[in-house]
Amino acid sequence: MRTPGKLVSLVTLALAAACSSSTPTAVETPTPTPSPTATVVVPPSPTASPTPSATPTPVVPTGSESPAPLGQPTCKASAVTITDADTVVKPGYRAEVYVLRTTGAPCQLTGYPSVLVNGATVTRGGSGLPPETVHAYTLSRATSLSFALATARPGASCDDQTAITVTLPGTSQPRGVVTDLRVCDHQLGVSPVHRLGDDE
């Protein structure tokens, strides 16, 4: 027969054995979530804008013809005909109108022709001619230009000329022109080259 003291000892030993044989429970440690890595955006390096190239300045060759406005060459004197085309009589002056035509490619004339008349002094815009602004005009086979020679009227003494010498503006080749020109007081005015009919 077991005594109560021995029974208590046996129970104690059984509990101790049970405790020593139990498998310890593993405690699960949460894995820390990695913080997102910041993405660095590098802006593209600015592309240098190309520097616009300057428009080249046209080089005009040295020669007997002076340069015309950009886009058209100066008319060649050898390709231009000069014809005494009309006589215009105004209250203060009488003018002879000369027409210019070309047999060549389109070209331009700008300014006053140089005119030599026997025994007369030729002045730009003189002898009663109305003032004009000089412009560049294009001459082609389908168009014509003109200029005028004027003398004051009435004049104290007048004479008629049948030939003059004309050098077109921008050229250096004088041209002989047959004419029926009245010159009074040995004075003539010349107009710039203009479109036919602009100032006649």
The pLDDT tens digits of the residues spanning 82-115 come to 999 999 999 889 999 999 999 999 999 999 999 9
Is 23 contained in some domain?
no
* Residue 189, domain member (yes or no): yes
- Does residue 198 register a pLDDT over 70? no
Distance of CA 171 to the CA centre of its chain: 26
Confidence band of 66 (pLDDT split at 50, 70, 90): low
User: Between 33 and 85, whose confidence is greater?
Assistant: 85
Residue 72 has pLDDT above 90, yes or no: no
Which residue range forms the structural domain that includes residue 85? 77-195
| Residue 126 CB neighbour total at 10 angstroms | 16
Distances (CA, A) of 104 to 79, 101, 141, 193: 6, 9, 7, 18
88 is a domain residue: yes
Q: What percent of the chain has pLDDT over 70?
A: 62
- Asked, for residue 100, whether it belongs to a domain, the answer is yes
If one counts the domains in the chain, the total is 1
- Residue 116 CA, chain-centre distance (Å), reads 38
The band of 156, judged by pLDDT with boundaries at 50, 70 and 90, is: confident
Determine which of 2-11, 41-50, 137-146, 173-182 has the lowest per-residue pLDDT on average. Answer: 2-11
Q: Which two tokens stand for residue 129?
A: 């001619």
Instruction: Look up the pTM and report it.
Output: 0.65
CB contact burial 60-88 (16+ within 10 A = b; e otherwise)? eeeeebeebeeebbbbbbeebebebeeee
Count CB atoms within 10 A of the CB of residue 92: 12
Q: What is the pLDDT of residue 71?
A: 72
- What number of CA atoms fall less than 13 Å from residue 90's CA on the CB side? 17
Residue-wise pLDDT for 10-32, tens only, equals 444 444 444 444 444 444 545 55
CB atoms within 10 A of CB 169: 20
Q: Is residue 17 part of a domain?
A: no
Query: What average pLDDT does range 64-68 have in this prediction?
Result: 54
Is there a domain that residue 92 lies in? yes
Residue 148: inside a domain:
yes
* Among 145, 147, 163, residue whose Cα is nearest residue 102: 145
CATH code for the domain of 115:
2.60.40
Would you give the DSSP letter of residue 61?
P
The reply to whether 7 falls in a domain is no
* Locus of tokens 């044989």: 21
